Structure 1
Amino acid sequence: MLVRSALAALGGATLAAAVTPLEVRGNQFVNPNTGNAFQIVGMAYQIGGSSGYDPASGKDPLSNGDVCKRDAALMQQLGVNAIRVYNLDPNLNHDECASIFNAAGMYMLLDVNSPLVGESLNSRAPWESYYAAYLNRTFAIVEAFKSYPNTLAFFSGNEVIDNVRTGATVPPYVRAVTRDLKNYIKNHSDRPIPVGYSAADVRVVLEDSWNYFQCAIDGDENDMSRADLFALNSYSWCGESTFEQSGYDQLVALFESSSVPIFYSEFGCNTPSPRVFTEIPTIYSDQMTGVFAGGVVYEYSQELNNYGLAQCNADLTVDLLVDFRTLQSQYQKVDFNQIQSIKASSTSPTPPVCRSSLIKEDGFNNNFTLPVVPPGAQEIIDNGVTPRPSGRIIEISDWSVRHDVKEADGTLIQNLAVTPLANDAVNTPDASTNAGSGSNSPASAAPQNQISAAIMVIPSIIAVVASAGFTLL
């Protein structure tokens, strides 16, 4: 009996297996171990919204392990394999949350900016906000998250270009920030981590923004200022729409020649309400997966803008909204095991050469001469930020959720917990149950690893018990 109890306890305390860091190859995200193209099944995750970001509070969305465990367990049920987090404090410790989402089979898409002054580009006068202290803050985000294997990508900007006026001045500065971030990663990370831009779906500037960031200056595909990915926040599919009525067909036609991965960094129109998420089967159909790499649903927590799937309460309990299970039912209509097993293409479109003729809209910036690195910033790029944040995957001793979670009808969810997945596995919607499951690795691998680890320490347990005068049964 005692041995069995010890085994059970050790099973929950083993170090979680890690997801495989993804790579960008041409216009696809690729798992280097399997050669499969990756489709993002994502969730925007920013409890409290932009107004909830306050460095003085000593917390951010990835600083409380109990909250992350609660939400990771729920997102596992959905089948989410990636979260997007907008506002982070590089000075906080994120090891527990990153380790939880890693074990749950979820990658992290991270913005390096925040809404606070000095922590993002000023779209009205970007030259006034592009300086060393601002860049230092973006580099600190990289330092804090570069060592987690589930850090998928960084966004150098989010909707900074939203009309022709901002398109006239902002693009060179966003591209310069991308350059600086990529050079910092090259110097201080043990693996390449993609950097890209999250665009507003404003059609008058969308094509020019995409071309401005994906093109190669002087035809150099290795140009460090060139974005590794391009994403868009799009809310054109509302209610019972279709591929054509929503304009998704136009977006596929626009991006089919992309030389970088394209995906939705936000989607999920909230009118009519409750939402129906009928775009899900289309986003993950062969109409789109050859061009789009999935998308991120906006958003997990209910905020004033009424896009949430879950009401996250001050006492850390959660009340699920009807949209949560509606989204789950739409995911379950898709064969994600088949979609995530498609081999990546061996070829990709060649990026266009940066030239003024590439820009179509009159007034949008067509000059590809970028701002020089600000005074003092090159030293940081070369030597690293000081003090230097760090992160690592850690052992989680207990995967169970401590706070009550209720269904939309008030029913308490029993025994909610994160299920650690095997090495190289990512979470995926499971049509047969209310829980997510792993893909790319056998589901039995994690329990087997836990049992093996427990068996290795049985002799020491026996010795301790025997010395205490107890008899093993």
Structure 2
Amino acid sequence: MKLSTLAALFLLHLSSVRGQTCEDFAPPAEIHGRKFFSSYSGDYLAIKGISYYPRPNEGDLTVTNSIDFFTEEYRSIWERDIEEFKDLGVNAIRIYAVDPGKNHDGFMCALKAAGIYVIVGLAAECFNCAITSDAPPLCYPAELKRRGEFIIQQFAKYENVLAFSAGNEVSLHRTSHSTENAPCQKKFIRDMRAYVQRCSDSMRKIPIGVIKADVERENKALYYNCRSDPDDELENADFIGINSYLHCDGAATGIDELVGYSKLLEDYESFGMTVPVLWTEFGCLNESFEEVEGYETQRNFLQVEALYSKTYREEFAGGFVFEYSTEKSMAQDESPYPFDTFGPDNWGVGHFEPENCDDVTTPCEYERFPEWYNLAEKYAAVDTSDEPNKLFYEREWNDPVPPTCPDEFPPLDSFAWPSELVPQLPQECPVEMPVFCAGVPLECNVVTLPPVSSAPVSCRWIVTLTLGTAIGQALLALLV
């Protein structure tokens, strides 16, 4: 290939992103105080998200909650949906299960080019892949520690990983008192934070948090924020997510009428939290919402006005609407396809068509509900320009004191944890090699060079890093 052709490719790459700044490409996020900030500018980052699991209407991809849709095998699915994310105005998504043995470069790069962050779940529906409903310490399988570290190792290279979730509602379905397996969840959080700390020479400090149902509100919030050992800085979660389905009154017209959320705000104001709190699932369904264009009970997402108001931002760092697409296998009994009637499981802001699509032999197309436009309008109107820069919170939250632990939870060191009793080789730390993404300006990638004690960086490595994989490799053909 001639050098002039390479130059043309390079200019094409630059022109495709001209007029945008690095803030538009999901730069690495940091936590200061109880909020997220851009590591580039230090500006406040309001998380405007949606939960994402693109289960089709029919076929083999509907049978489990742990299909990893985020690999090259399913590129046609996530490329379709990322365009919808951009139109919807979200800057973050939640994904619930990944296979760390597969490559996710294409998916994560496409999201970065769209300016979208990801909370990556560390659990899945496989044997020993999540905290169980057993009593501690057996509710934390030794194999789960290895799996969690492996996921972090594989995803740490992606700058748009907002955080890792160590669990989702793990105590919700306990047959006895639901606090019983919470120590297992907390020990898993601690182990994952310890891995991030151990690998701090080769990866950034990506937050490890927990997502819980909005039950036992005070006890669970305090427990995941507190430290039974005051000297153990790794014991508490880096962030807490709450799945809270409030505001079920379609007649409410202002945020002062959101009685459930007013109480939620009041409670969290009293807890003395020292970590960010996210609404990781919200968007209550109720028959009182209006019918629009033949679709019953279309949510107005008045909660968005509340969540991003100055008062609520003092306690909450943003949220994720539940969810992107209605899942036919869940909703069809009470709201049959095309889901134009009310049903308690018709959670999507859109759905897939045709009715028999399986995204294998019959591709699914995304059809927006009227409420999709309500959410897009609310997200577009969010204005957080009055938030201070991260420097303000670095001063104000220099050394926060976590709340006191509730009495009913035993200290973590009172258990003999399988993850410590079963011999395991230490998980290797991530390799210091960032991923460069098509459609993202070169200057908008954080390059972490190897330590000074490492071998010299070769010309081949510099070219590939500077110009990205495709262009860099083409230039290398001229240099070798």
TM-score after normalising by structure 2: 0.72
Q: 1:286 aligns with which of 303, 307, 310?
A: 310
Q: 1:233 aligns with which of 226, 233, 243?
A: 243
Contact 2:352 2:366 in 1 (8 A): yes
Moved over 4 A (4+): 2-18, 49-55, 336-344, 375-381, 388-392, 420-425
Percent identity of the aligned residues? 25
Pairwise CA RMSD of aligned residues?
3.7
Pairing 1:290-305 to 2, within 5 Å after superposition: 290-303=314-327, 304=330, 305=345
Contact 2:91 2:117 in 1 (8 A): yes
Q: 2:193 aligns with which of 179, 182, 197?
A: 182
Q: 1:335 aligns with which of 366, 383, 386?
A: 383
**Matching residue's letter, 1:33:** Y
Cα deviations by residue, 1:56-96 (Å, 9 ceiling, x for unpaired): x7x42454333323222211122111110011111111000
Q: Say whether residues 1:21 and 2:35 are aligned partners.
A: no
Change (3 A) 1:14 1:394: farther
Q: Say whether residues 1:169 and 2:180 are aligned partners.
A: yes
- Mapped to 2, the partners of 1:172 and 1:219 lie a distance apart of 16
Q: Say whether residues 1:215 and 2:226 are aligned partners.
A: yes
Change (3 A) 1:139 1:342: closer
Contact 2:278 2:319 in 1 (8 A): yes
Contact 1:162 1:200 in 2 (8 A): yes
Name the SS for the 1:369 alignment partner: helix
**Matching residue's letter, 2:34:** N
Cα deviations by residue, 1:155-194 (Å, 9 ceiling, x for unpaired): 1111112389443311211110001111122223511111
Contact 1:28 1:38 in 2 (8 A): yes
Match of 1:255?
268
- Mapped to 2, the partners of 1:157 and 1:423 lie a distance apart of 35
- Mapped to 2, the partners of 1:32 and 1:6 lie a distance apart of 30
Match of 1:326?
374
Match of 2:396?
347
Q: 2:92 aligns with which of 79, 82, 92?
A: 82
Contact 2:139 2:184 in 1 (8 A): no
Q: Aligned residue pairs: how many?
A: 396
Match of 1:60?
69
Moved more, 242-251 or 306-315: 242-251
User: How far has the Cα of 1:255 moved from its partner?
Assistant: 1.9
Cα deviations by residue, 1:382-440 (Å, 9 ceiling, x for unpaired): 3439xx999953443xx7xxxxxxxxxxxxxxxxxxxx689669xxxxxxxxxxxxxxx
Match of 2:453?
none
TM-score after normalising by structure 1: 0.73
Q: Say whether residues 1:147 and 2:187 are aligned partners.
A: no
Name the SS for the 1:183 alignment partner: helix
Name the SS for the 1:24 alignment partner: strand
**Matching residue's letter, 2:206:** I
**Matching residue's letter, 1:319:** E
Name the SS for the 1:99 alignment partner: helix
User: How far has the Cα of 1:367 moved from its partner?
Assistant: 4.1
- Mapped to 2, the partners of 1:93 and 1:30 lie a distance apart of 28
Match of 1:384?
428
Q: Say whether residues 1:246 and 2:288 are aligned partners.
A: no
Q: Say whether residues 1:310 and 2:350 are aligned partners.
A: yes
User: How far has the Cα of 1:9 moved from its partner?
Assistant: 5.2
Match of 2:41?
34
Change (3 A) 1:381 1:150: farther
Contact 1:199 1:232 in 2 (8 A): yes
- Mapped to 1, the partners of 2:391 and 2:383 lie a distance apart of 15
Cα deviations by residue, 1:4-40 (Å, 9 ceiling, x for unpaired): 9868854588899653211122322222332333211
Name the SS for the 1:97 alignment partner: helix
Q: Say whether residues 1:48 and 2:88 are aligned partners.
A: no
- Mapped to 2, the partners of 1:290 and 1:325 lie a distance apart of 27
**Matching residue's letter, 2:382:** V
What are the ranges of 5 or more consecutive residues in structure 1 without an aligned counterpart? 400-419, 426-451, 465-473
Contact 1:98 1:393 in 2 (8 A): no
- Mapped to 1, the partners of 2:367 and 2:135 lie a distance apart of 42
User: How far has the Cα of 1:378 moved from its partner?
Assistant: 7.8
- Mapped to 1, the partners of 2:189 and 2:309 lie a distance apart of 31
Q: 2:279 aligns with which of 255, 260, 264?
A: 264
- Mapped to 2, the partners of 1:329 and 1:171 lie a distance apart of 38
Name the SS for the 1:227 alignment partner: coil
- Mapped to 2, the partners of 1:54 and 1:335 lie a distance apart of 35
Match of 2:146?
136
- Mapped to 2, the partners of 1:214 and 1:322 lie a distance apart of 39
**Matching residue's letter, 1:66:** S
- Mapped to 1, the partners of 2:116 and 2:261 lie a distance apart of 26
Cα deviations by residue, 1:357-387 (Å, 9 ceiling, x for unpaired): x34xxxx4354535344256786573439xx
Name the SS for the 1:217 alignment partner: coil
Name the SS for the 1:247 alignment partner: helix
- Mapped to 2, the partners of 1:106 and 1:422 lie a distance apart of 17
- Mapped to 1, the partners of 2:207 and 2:313 lie a distance apart of 20
Contact 2:137 2:417 in 1 (8 A): no
**Matching residue's letter, 2:196:** I
Contact 1:187 1:381 in 2 (8 A): no
